[in-house]
């Protein structure tokens, strides 16, 4: 089976006011459909930078990334926007749900933006809210949900547009230990059920056994430990 994601010799250098910071050095890996990769490392080691680059939110200094059949390191802004909307689902530490919309509406929005009819969007959103165990809370606004419930909705939203890859940046970083474990298990279950690829970055090394692969970033490089 060919890879869904091919990352080759990615380097990232941030330059500001005459100073340059080499954040990522010669990062290379492959990920196939349905596989999950956990990336750990100390604060500031470049985890979010790598995830943002794969999600088309930041650019490489050198190297190449082929994701979902697209060379995203050589793509214009218009195509990148479409890639972000259709091929990738993001989950962040903060939920970023829209406060004036119910949980269900928050799930319908990305579908409507991608051109689905209201009927189809609602049907799919209802299925997703059920998948994350919040069918009874579907009409609640984000302020009426607990922190763990808001992250459940955020997971459902990441899946809404049927992306091929889920990119999760410290998805349980704001939750207590118990909730964190529950939400992690839910995320891994859904990723498996829907046969999605997952890249999860975290400083929490206890998660590493939950993925198919684990790398740590040290001095900008992947180390296998």
| Chain residues in the site for ligand ATP (CB under 6 A) | 14, 16, 21, 23, 41, 43-49, 203
Q: What span, in angstroms and rounded, lies between the C-alpha atoms of 217 and 82?
A: 29
Rounded-to-5 percentages of helix, strand, coil across the chain = 40, 30, 35
CB of 14 to ligand ATP, least distance (A): 3
| Span between the terminal Cα atoms of the chain, in Å | 26
Which C-beta is closer to ligand ATP: that of 52 or that of 114? 52
CB of 222 to ligand ATP, least distance (A): 13
- 151 φ, ψ (degrees, to nearest 5): -70, -30
* DSSP designation for 152: H
Which C-beta is closer to ligand ATP: that of 106 or that of 180? 180
Which C-beta is closer to ligand ATP: that of 123 or that of 204? 204
Which C-beta is closer to ligand ATP: that of 55 or that of 110? 55
CB of 118 to ligand ATP, least distance (A): 38
Q: What span, in angstroms and rounded, lies between the C-alpha atoms of 123 and 104?
A: 10
CB of 45 to ligand ATP, least distance (A): 4
């Amino acid at each position: 089976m060919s890879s869904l994601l091919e990352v080759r010799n990615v380097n990232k250098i941030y330059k500001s006011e005459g100073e340059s910071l080499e954040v990522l050095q010669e990062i290379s890996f492959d990920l196939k459909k349905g596989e999950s990769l956990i990336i750990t490392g100390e604060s500031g080691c470049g985890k979010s930078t790598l995830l943002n680059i794969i999600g088309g939110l930041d650019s490489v200094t050198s190297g190449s990334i082929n994701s979902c059949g697209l060379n995203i390191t050589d793509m214009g802004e218009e195509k990148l926007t479409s890639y972000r909307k259709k091929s990738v689902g993001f989950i962040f530490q903060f939920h970023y749900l829209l406060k004036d919309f119910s949980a269900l509406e928050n799930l319908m929005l990305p579908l409507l933006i991608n051109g689905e009819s209201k009927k189809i969007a609602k049907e799919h959103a209802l299925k997703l809210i059920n998948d994350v165990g919040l069918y009874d809370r579907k009409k609640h606004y984000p302020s009426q949900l607990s922190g763990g419930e808001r992250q459940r909705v955020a997971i459902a939203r990441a899946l809404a547009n049927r992306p091929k890859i889920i990119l999760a940046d410290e998805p349980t970083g704001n939750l207590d230990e118990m909730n964190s474990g529950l939400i992690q298990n839910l995320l891994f279950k859904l990723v498996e059920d829907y046969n999605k690829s997952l890249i999860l970055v975290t400083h929490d090394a206890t998660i590493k056994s939950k993925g198919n692969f684990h790398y740590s970033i040290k001095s900008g490089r992947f180390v296998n430990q």
